[in-house]
Chain A
């Protein structure tokens, strides 16, 4: 059994969960929030043991929520990915940053139009909330030629610009968004997330939404309201939607700087899995100050609780 070690500077080391810890963890919370990439799946393959683990937690009466900062798909779009991987999930349990943007606008009773930089997921979620939008994929091929007489009109009814990950980012979109933010009084600047890099393929890291948001921050000299991890909004919205207190929730993720910090700042119990981006060495390194309450190799380690219960009975 691995016990907590107090190190010289007084802080405790992160605790590798043993079977007792796992049982205590499951008993102490009513809801698990899972990051997806590196926890549930890696790229397009489900991580082994995850479907059985989720079924077990559900059978024990736990609420499950799946969060992803990826804004390209809507919740319904992600549902397709989950079911395709053999996972039993409902669309309402999926919390994508595309949904978060629409939920944020709904929470402030937004009635104007939205200019979107991003892909179809954001547009679908705005449609579901009855929010009018322009831009998105239809502006992908638009070109600006800065010659004499060139002018750009913009819709004065745009009350918010939502910036999500966009593989077709271009100067037209940047300029249109800039005009709305600069010229329309009170126009909001909302970012689905600001991840610097994203793992679209296994081969390498790719520029993330941090770049699309950075472009607009650079052309307006304004900072956005961020709705995805590690900002508070997503957590507030989840807690409110499901009628939960923070102490009733455990955040399970693979990234210290977004998932675990997000959970800690929000007052949640936190659990790091080593099946994604973070390895044990990085976690335990003296340079890391973000300590989850527990850590384990992968989510399916929780199944040990079921095994222990069988043995006991």
Chain B
């Protein structure tokens, strides 16, 4: 543990299942983060939860007593907007969103017009008349959608099948997420799976485990992957993202991954293996103190 604190200058944290569960901060985590900052470490956050914008996540951090700056927060809604920006998305076109408001806010922040999202929650497909769609949609952007419907799947599919060159963008394809403290809910994987089942092609994934956001982070925060460590609860997103971007990885057991899954992955030849494991990041203070005691 002391070695970890010495070797890594930049610590990137997943949010759901690592820092908090729903609206409840995991015990000891705030103190652990304070310790890192006191030691002069850079602390960043990276979440695949596509429901909010960076600004909204900042509000949530402040609400639970976690000091942060909007530039330190990366989320999958931002990753989709940043990706479209990076490829020079034609601003005369629009994006159709199947997901929450956060995606639309991030798209607006880079000057991309979008529609759909929660504004289409009450719409229902009518089979008695022809369903029309906007031929100016140049990208369909997906995230978790607690109001997914046949109408939305059909609309998104029509854009992808009928508008030449329309991009299929997924903020992430997570099967599940800790959107409330005591239950995991179907994630963006369901939204993406529904549309993929019609259009029969894979989306471009911009959030974890895609390495796309690493360029953004490296440039803005002047960090080197070799001196950075990713802390998260999910092997197939957090840990894999760390591995894909050349960072060290620390798995915590406070979220999605249980002992059984970890053992299975370790035993498999192509399993995702974290460098380090802790029961909870909140244990940092206690573990660091124990290590210091042992040194004496």
| Partner-B contacts on A (CB < 8 A) | 143-152, 166-171, 174-175, 178, 182, 194, 196-197, 200-201, 203-221
Contact = CB atoms under 8 A, between A and B. Distances in A.
Interface stretch (B188-196, B220-228, B278-286): B188-196
Given A171-B145, A219-B187, A219-B189, A214 B197 contact: yes
Which applies to chain A's interface (DSSP): helix, strand, loop or mixed? loop
Given A196-B200, A203-B130, A151 B183 contact: yes
Given A144-B146, A178-B176, A211 B197 contact: yes
Interface stretch (B2-10, B107-115, B148-156, B269-277): B148-156
B146 A218 contact: no
Interface of B: 22-23, 51, 125, 127, 130-131, 145-150, 153-154, 157-158, 161, 173, 175-176, 179-183, 185-187, 189-200
A214 B30 CA distance: 39
A178 B186 CA distance: 7
Contacts of B180: 146-151
A121 B212 CA distance: 45
B97 to A, nearest CB: 16
Interface of B, secondary structure class, is mixed
A175 B153 contact: no
Given A146-B180, A169-B148, A170-B149, A220 B175 contact: yes
Nearest to A213: B197
A170 B175 contact: no
Contact of B197 (A166, A175, A196, A206): A196
B198 A146 contact: no
A149 B23 CA distance: 10
Nearest to A210: B197
A148 B64 CA distance: 14
Nearest to B187: A219
A151 to B, nearest CB: 6
Given A171-B145, A215-B191, A146 B196 contact: no
B257 to A, nearest CB: 14
A213 B197 CA distance: 7
B166 to A, nearest CB: 16
Would you list the 3 A-B pairs with minimal beta carbon distance, nearest first?
Answer: A218-B193, A214-B197, A210-B197
B144 to A, nearest CB: 9
Contacts of A197: 198
Contact of A171 (B125, B146, B182, B192): B146
Contacts of A144: 146, 185
Contacts of A201: 127, 130
Contacts of B197: 194, 196, 207-215, 217
A207 B148 contact: no
Contacts of A221: 175, 189
Nearest to A220: B175
Nearest to B185: A175
Given A196-B198, A218-B196, A148 B154 contact: no
B153 A145 contact: no
Most chain A beta carbons < 10 A, residue from B131, B150, B194: B194
B179 A211 contact: no
B198 A171 contact: no
A218 B194 contact: yes
A171 B147 contact: yes
B190 A219 contact: yes
Nearest to B132: A204
Given A174-B190, A206-B125, 6 more contacts: A148-B22, A148-B23, A148-B181, A167-B125, A171-B145, A210-B200
Contacts of B195: 211, 214
A220 B196 CA distance: 15
B174 to A, nearest CB: 9
A195 to B, nearest CB: 9
Contacts of A206: 125, 127, 154
A152 B193 contact: no
8 contacts: A169-B194, A174-B186, A205-B161, A208-B198, A210-B198, A211-B198, A214-B195, A219-B175
Contacts of A194: 197
Contacts of A205: 161
B194 A145 contact: no
Given A174-B190, A207-B154, A218 B148 contact: no
Given A168-B150, A174-B186, A217-B193, A196 B199 contact: yes
Contacts of B51: 146
- Between A150, A182, A216, A218, the greatest number of chain B beta carbons within 10 A of the residue's beta carbon is seen for A218
B98 to A, nearest CB: 11
Contacts of B194: 169, 211-212, 214-215, 218
A206 to B, nearest CB: 6
Contacts of A145: 146
A200 B146 CA distance: 26
A200 B173 CA distance: 29
A140 to B, nearest CB: 11
A45 B117 CA distance: 38
Contact of A207 (B145, B150, B179): B150
A184 to B, nearest CB: 15
A150 B180 CA distance: 7
B186 A171 contact: yes
A168 B125 CA distance: 9
A221 B174 CA distance: 9
A205 B185 CA distance: 31
A173 B188 CA distance: 15
